[in-house]
Structure formats: C-alpha cells, structure tokens
Structure 1
Amino acid sequence: MADVSVIILTHNEEKHIARCLQSLHPFTDKIFIVDSFSTDNTVEIARSLGATVVQNPWVNYALQFNYGIDHTPFETGWLMRMDADEYVLPELAEEINQRLTTLSEDVSGIYVKRRVLFFDKWIRHGDYYPIWLLRLWRRQQGICEETWMDEHIKLSQGKSIQFQHDLVDHNLNNLTWWTQKHNNYAIREVIDLLNIKYNFDKTQRVEPKLFGSQEQRTRYLKIQYASLPLFTRPFLYFFYRYFFRFGFLDGKKGLIWHFLQGLWYRFLVDAKMFEVYFHAGRDKESIIQFFRTHYGKDLSPTNRP
C-alpha cells in the first residue's frame, strides 16, 4: 500500500461514493471524508467501506477541503484529492503504488490526467483531454487556494511531475441536476471574472502563465477571456472547442456536452454578468453591495470565498 491518504468532500453522493472508494482500495485504506450533512446513505456506505467520516457545515469548497487537510487523522507522507463522482483507473492505482516511494525529496506534487465521461462517452476532443490536475502532494506542502471558482491545490515548495495514467470523472446524475448545478456555478464564475477586473478579495491566485502548468495556463486564458465582449466570447469559445479543436468528433453525446458546457453555460454567465451591470453599474462598491443584497455573497477583502 502506498504512503498516501485521500481526502473527499461529500454531500448526497450515494450514487458515486462506493465506486470511488473501491477504486482507491488497491493503493490505500486511509480515506478521510468530510461530509456536509448528507441526507441520503452517503455516510453509511462510506463507513461500511472503511472510510473515516466527519461532518462539517459547508461554507465553500476551499474552506471545506482545507478543513480536511487540517483534520485528517492519517499521518501519511502524501495526500490526495478526489471528488466523490471520480474514480481511479487500475493503471493509475498501480502507478501510485510503484512510483510514489521512488520520488526524490524535491518532488512535492504530482499531476494526473482526468478524463470526463458524459452519457458514458469519453469526451476526448474539444481541448477537453487531457486535463492535467495536481491531485497528490506531500503533507504540509499543499493547500487549496481560496477562489470563487476552479480551486486548485497550491504547492508551497518543491517541484511537480506528471504520472502517466488517468482518473475518471463520471457523474451519474441526470441533466436536470447538471443544469441546476451549473446554474449555481454561473454566479461564482461571474464573481471570478469580475474579480479579474475589480480584485475584490485580494487573494493570491495561481500565477497566470501561458506556457506554465495546466492551472497557470487556464488562469492566463481566463484573464484573456474576461477581456472579450459579453455575448461574443461564448460563441468564440464554442467555435474554438467544437470546430478548431475537433469537438465534433465526439459525436452526438459530445455535441450535447460541448454545447451545454462550452456555450450554454458560458452564455448564462454573461447573462448574469449583464444583470449585475444592469442593476449595479460598473462601480466596484455598487457591485459588492449588489452581490451582498441579491445573492448573500460578501465580496469585500475580509470575506474570502
């Protein structure tokens, strides 16, 4: 077994949690779940499969995950981040077992590839694979950054390397759940895009860099995207993904995915941003007040996400 423990955040994940945990058992039995008071059988299933489960009120992803880092009962040399609707492929489990003990002390983080399945279809095109994510890091050398959207693990020291095999993101919920989830994501995305211009919380983000790591490149491209005109950029982004990056090769299921995730969702974000400007104008303090009044979100510097 590898010297690694896994942290997972859950809320009503009974459809996914057993699959996730069973994929981890080939390389670790040290699994720590921070549950935000699920009302289904998530906790019971997780405990029956050997996970240690605590419950903590949900505020946001970063705070909840950093709570997990601070309170994990396992003294392993490495930590790993997983989502409940993900699972590790056997090849990656074997790679973790074989390579983790061979790494030099200056290696603090490990990137793995995530493949997304949608209606059981692997989304291979549209610049959506491979997505490299830093998912393993040495204890006390990584923390989840506090952003409104797209939270990443930030290393405090050392270098990172890449493993060769994949984990899989395969959510089993229906499209109604998916669209409701992304509707909620959209307002966080609006705040993240506005934060590029207004710097509400002054949180130190991942350094934007076109030729850096995947999250540095993503942050750089998001900054460029934020400078494009409203209601133009969603169509440009969809065209880039679906035609220039061959998203059409993913077939009918891929069309649904790229349209919803690459156009509908981005257009919804712009519509919500238009709503902000319509009601609050472009004055920073008026925008902060709008979010406080209409969405119950405090964007002031002393209230990080």
Structure 2
Amino acid sequence: MSDISFIILTYNESVHLKRLLSKIAGLQAPIFVVDSGSTDDTVAIAESYGAIVKTNAFENHPKQWDFALKNCPISTPWIVGLDADQYPSVELFNKLKSFSDKDVPADVSGIYFNRHNYFQGERLKYGGYRNFYMLKMFRYGKGWSDLNENMDHRFVIEGKTIIWKDEILIEDNLKEHDIDFWLHKQIRYSNLTAQEEYQRKKGLRGQTLQPNLFGNPDQRKAVFKKIWWNMPLFVRPMIYFFYRFVIRLGFLETTSGRTFHYLQGFWFRFLVDAKIHELEKKDKKK
C-alpha cells in the first residue's frame, strides 16, 4: 500500500485527466478527484481509474483546495495535490513509487516538486521558468490551503520542507494550444487577482507566509510579492516584463515562449492594474 494519496482538481478535463491517471496508476495509490461540475467525460474517466469523486461548486482555487483537504477521506500519511494538466516525469514517478514515510525526517512536512511548464506544446526555458519549485506534497494534517490568496493557490505547512530538484512535474495544458482559450482564462484570472490586490491595499486581506529571502521557495516569492504590491500601477508591468524578457533571457525562447512571456508577463499584469485602477475609481465615487 502506498504512503501517498493523490487529490486532483477538475472541471471539464477529459483531455487531460486520462493522461494523468494513466501515468500514476502504477503507484497503486488512493486517488480523489474534486470536480466543479464537469459536463464532459471527466467524472466517468476518474471513476474508470478507481478514483473517488467529490463535487463542489468552484469559487476560486484556494477555496476549492480547502474543500478538498477537508472532505477527502485521506488514510495515508502523505498527500500529493495536482491539477489535471500536470503529470509526473518517469523520474518523479519512480521517486514516488519508492517513497516511504519512514525515510523522511519527522520534522519535514512538505516536499517541493520541480515544475517544467509547457506553453502550446513547447517547454519554457527562460524568463524564470526553467526550474519552478512548487509545494505539491505534504504530510496529512500538516498542510492546508492558503485562503489569503484569491487566485494563486498554494499549500502552507507546519514544519520544514525539502526540494526534489531532479524529479520533474510536467505541466502541459493542451487546451492552451487555442490562444483564445488562454486569453479568456487570463481575463477571469485578472478579475480575481485585481480583487485580491485591491483588498490588500484596503487592509482587508493579509499575507499568510512570512517573507524570507533565505527561506523556502514560497517564502522567497513572498518577499517579491510584497515589493510588487507597493510598486506604482502601470509602471510595474513594464519593469517586470523587462526583467523577464531581457534580464532573464525570455527573448531566447521559441516564438510560442516569447508570446507567453509577453502575454503573461506584461499584458496580463497591465490588465490587472487597469482593473485595480477601475476599482479605486469606483471606490472614490461612493
């Protein structure tokens, strides 16, 4: 019996779910799928692989993960939380297959995976995306969803963390080969991000993680997020894009990669700032 259970969030993920489940089936680990009301074959695919399916209306990723962690009957000491468009490399599969709770120090409660991100079928290698560490595995009862976030979900854990650098988690969203799909998704995300940042400015939303430049990957990221929130609107997207595209060599990507860095590193950030500005204007009129 595996020491790991998987939790996977889904919504109309038939194009991805079979790929993921087929790659983790050999681990013989319990699988839980938390679905947001799919109208395609997502639930049928999940059940065909023996997954236990829970359904919950989607509000945002942090709240969906909070529901998942509170409602999935986990019986293993460790949890791996994945999105349907992610799947393990052979090296990560083998690491998980040989994983045993007794081999992990008792004070370690979380494990970061090294995510390699693909956009329109091509791996992003520059602009800060070559190696991107995400806390995806943690001890049951020692991790929870950070509800101070409105868009970016992250797990927060009690205890120390370690990083698996050579065992890769691949993220390749096949739907994003259609640029219109990606753009519409980012517009939805921009609403959530703008609301979150506006609430932070108003003091209505806190920051769970303590920023620490010498801490784990999320604590280091929290340092730069705090700087970002205090930078002037409309100026910061230009600075960030220059950093990603020039300093972090994003211009060396393929055409798809350069498109990603422009759209995600500049256009999306500028759109968020425009929506924050709009919220501030509405607030002044009250």
Q: Which runs of 5+ in 2 are unaligned?
A: none
What letter matches 1:179 in structure 2?
A: L
- 2:16 counterpart residue number: 16
Q: Per the alignment, in what secondary structure is the counterpart of residue 144 of structure 2?
A: strand
Superposition deviation, residue 258 in structure 1: 0.3
| Residue 249 of structure 2 corresponds to residue 246 of structure 1 | yes
Which of 219, 222, 229 is equivalent to 1:226? 229
Superposition deviation, residue 255 in structure 1: 0.8
| Residue 204 of structure 2 corresponds to residue 177 of structure 1 | no
Q: Distance in 1 between matches of 2:28 and 2:127?
A: 34
| Residue 116 of structure 2 corresponds to residue 115 of structure 1 | yes
| Residue 268 of structure 2 corresponds to residue 265 of structure 1 | yes
| Residue 209 of structure 2 corresponds to residue 211 of structure 1 | no
- 1:136 counterpart residue number: 137
Q: Per the alignment, in what secondary structure is the counterpart of residue 14 of structure 2?
A: coil
| Residue 82 of structure 2 corresponds to residue 78 of structure 1 | no
Q: Distance in 2 between matches of 1:76 and 1:210?
A: 33
- What's the Cα RMSD here? 1.6
Superposition deviation, residue 230 in structure 1: 1.5
Q: Per the alignment, in what secondary structure is the counterpart of residue 135 of structure 1?
A: strand
Superposition deviation, residue 80 in structure 1: 0.7
Q: Per the alignment, in what secondary structure is the counterpart of residue 95 of structure 2?
A: helix
Superposition deviation, residue 98 in structure 1: 2.4
Deviations 1:160-212 (A, max 9, x none): 1111311111111121111111101112111222233222144x511122232
Q: Distance in 2 between matches of 1:82 and 1:98?
A: 19
Deviations 1:37-65 (A, max 9, x none): 11111001111122111212223322221
- 1:55 counterpart residue number: 55
Task: Check 1:65–1:168 CA distance in 2 against 1; reply closer, same or farther (3 A cut).
Answer: same
Which of 138, 147, 150 is equivalent to 2:152? 150
Superposition deviation, residue 274 in structure 1: 1.5
- For the Cα contact (< 8 Å) 1:12–1:40, is it kept in 2? yes
- For the Cα contact (< 8 Å) 1:95–1:163, is it kept in 2? no
- 2:169 counterpart residue number: 167
- For the Cα contact (< 8 Å) 1:29–1:50, is it kept in 2? no
- For the Cα contact (< 8 Å) 2:74–2:140, is it kept in 1? no
Please give the TM-score of this superposition, normalised by the length of structure 2: 0.93
Q: Distance in 1 between matches of 2:74 and 2:205?
A: 33
- 2:198 counterpart residue number: 194
Q: Distance in 1 between matches of 2:198 and 2:77?
A: 38
Deviations 1:12-37 (A, max 9, x none): 11111111111222324311011111
- For the Cα contact (< 8 Å) 1:5–1:28, is it kept in 2? no
Q: Per the alignment, in what secondary structure is the counterpart of residue 140 of structure 1?
A: coil
Q: Per the alignment, in what secondary structure is the counterpart of residue 276 of structure 1?
A: helix
Superposition deviation, residue 272 in structure 1: 0.8
Count of paired positions: 281
What letter matches 1:272 in structure 2?
A: K
Please give the TM-score of this superposition, normalised by the length of structure 1: 0.87
Superposition deviation, residue 228 in structure 1: 1.6
Superposition deviation, residue 81 in structure 1: 0.5
Q: Identity of counterpart residues, as a percentage?
A: 36
Q: Distance in 2 between matches of 1:162 and 1:201?
A: 29
What letter matches 1:178 in structure 2?
A: W
Q: Which runs of 5+ in 1 are unaligned?
A: 287-305
Q: Distance in 1 between matches of 2:139 and 2:199?
A: 30
Q: Distance in 2 between matches of 1:225 and 1:65?
A: 25
- 2:127 counterpart residue number: 126
Q: Per the alignment, in what secondary structure is the counterpart of residue 26 of structure 1?
A: helix
Q: Per the alignment, in what secondary structure is the counterpart of residue 226 of structure 2?
A: helix
Q: Per the alignment, in what secondary structure is the counterpart of residue 16 of structure 1?
A: helix
